[in-house]
Structure 1
């Protein structure tokens, strides 16, 4: 099955044979994927398979052990620190559980990147912040502190902050984690609508199959540091691939085993193995 895009002019992010390890622990083992301009792409897989590491590689927080990571035609490994920071200002990031500044108001959280990275006048920053908050339905909550927000509201404020600079690329790390069904649906539709309104590209790391397949253009599945399946939502729904079936139907055992590798149980119980 071909990847989503092979046209370099239409591709915003491209990973080619990307490998990464923490010391002796190998995380990614030759990842190839494309994120086209204007599309929403989900990265799925079990916990610890390397999804968040992939986001950090694209964001330049980590450097690949091998292969190339290209964003907007630039090889991240060849950029100076100054060039990398300039590129990162064109990216937005929604961290798992929002990561809002707890001692700042909703308004100041969203204003933070505008104040840090632009020379805009306070009046213009005010107008932009209110517009971003209005886009996520929370203009009326501008004076509240994060502790006064529900989990869904906090995630929407974090989304407003992620799009404050109108990024070309928005990355989401488990945007649906811990949300009730209504908030989950609201966040999902906001991700799709804001991506289209900004003309941005989106990479979304998530475990939520049902919501994701309603809003994304393409899905990559990662297991043991490799891409094991990929396709459009319709292709994923119709897939007979054992890994996809196990993940979609939440089966305990399959290509991803329930048991962590170990010696036979009898050896341990009879005292011939490690405790």
Structure 2
């Protein structure tokens, strides 16, 4: 395992966030280092995607501090924030390709939007990005002509179009068959290492994630309840982590909603 200490790219300090009066995150502390691939795991609705939005500056923390590349996001003006975002890549859940653009144009879009490169250079760069994900031969296809796994790889090529320093993934394995899932997982690992970037992915896929990531944060009830390397996570005795890792139906996250003893309801008869 590489030593990532002293090379922090993203840092959250005592971060809190609420949607209206509903507090989602309560005192989050985490660090992501350059070269590191980090997974954020936890149950549905626990605030994982909110963490990605905070790192990308789409929303600002209610309190605490979010720093990316040494800059506090709350202190940036609009142009400063946009300049920082150009150094980030995002793979959205299910890819989110532009359906009326070809594969080539989807990958070229960030380059045309954020650079003044000539079309001849954009062409070469797009083909190189597609080559990296094994889809150079599909550059002329439309998204409707792609399988789910192919579409996710095109979205990955688009996410790395500008050689970002930070790549964020929102459920990159959702809806994929086992072969495509394995391909995407290995691509995420290899591209992160090749770019020297930091990558953070929100995911529910435990087995695939623990095989490729360097570090894991578990989120529950608005806070970090466990963290560590994949080996450390596998060895943890924490009931929530154990239930999540082993996909157990009952535990700290209960199977049954609180209710009176079933005998009482059955004795009543009629409507519940």
Q: Residue 157 of structure 1 corresponds to which residue in structure 2?
A: 154
Q: SS of the residue aligned with 1:207?
A: coil
Tell me: CA distance 1:220–1:123, structure 2 relative to 1, closer, same or farther (3 Å): same
CA distance in 2, matches of 1:32, 1:77: 16
CA distance in 1, matches of 2:250, 2:56: 33
CA distance in 2, matches of 1:141, 1:87: 31
Q: Residue 169 of structure 1 corresponds to which residue in structure 2?
A: 166
CA distance in 1, matches of 2:167, 2:120: 26
CA distance in 1, matches of 2:174, 2:116: 35
Residue 265 of structure 1 and its aligned partner are, at CA, apart by 6.3
Match of 1:244 among 241, 251, 269: 241
Residue 25 of structure 1 and its aligned partner are, at CA, apart by 1.0
Tell me: CA distance 1:265–1:115, structure 2 relative to 1, closer, same or farther (3 Å): farther
Q: Residue 101 of structure 1 corresponds to which residue in structure 2?
A: 98
Structure 2: gaps spanning 5 or more residues = none
Deviations 1:147-203, CA, capped at 9 Å, x for gaps: 000000000000000000000000000000000000000000000000000000000
Question: CA-atom RMSD, angstroms?
Answer: 1.7
CA distance in 1, matches of 2:66, 2:95: 26
Q: Residue 220 of structure 2 corresponds to which residue in structure 1?
A: 223
Q: TM-score, normalised by structure 2?
A: 0.94
CA distance in 2, matches of 1:26, 1:258: 24
Structure 1: gaps spanning 5 or more residues = none
Q: Residue 63 of structure 2 corresponds to which residue in structure 1?
A: 66
Residue 26 of structure 1 and its aligned partner are, at CA, apart by 1.1
CA distance in 2, matches of 1:90, 1:83: 11
Residue 268 of structure 1 and its aligned partner are, at CA, apart by 7.7
Tell whether 2:264 aligns with 1:264.
no
Q: SS of the residue aligned with 2:15?
A: strand
CA distance in 1, matches of 2:170, 2:28: 18
Q: Counterparts in 2 of 1:1-275, with a 5 A limit? A: 7=6, 10-260=7-257, 262=258, 264=260
CA distance in 1, matches of 2:168, 2:70: 18
Number of residue pairs aligned between Structure 1 and Structure 2: 266
- Residues 170, 201 of structure 2: 8 Å contact kept: yes
Residue 259 of structure 1 and its aligned partner are, at CA, apart by 3.8
Deviations 1:214-253, CA, capped at 9 Å, x for gaps: 1100000001111101110111111111111100111122
Q: SS of the residue aligned with 1:18?
A: strand
Residue 75 of structure 1 and its aligned partner are, at CA, apart by 0.5
Residue 269 of structure 1 and its aligned partner are, at CA, apart by 7.8
- Residues 5, 34 of structure 1: 8 Å contact kept: no
Deviations 1:68-105, CA, capped at 9 Å, x for gaps: 00000000001001100000000000000000000000
- Residues 169, 200 of structure 1: 8 Å contact kept: yes
Residue 258 of structure 1 and its aligned partner are, at CA, apart by 2.7
Segment drifting more, 17-26 vs 182-191? 17-26
CA distance in 1, matches of 2:261, 2:103: 53
CA distance in 2, matches of 1:268, 1:85: 58
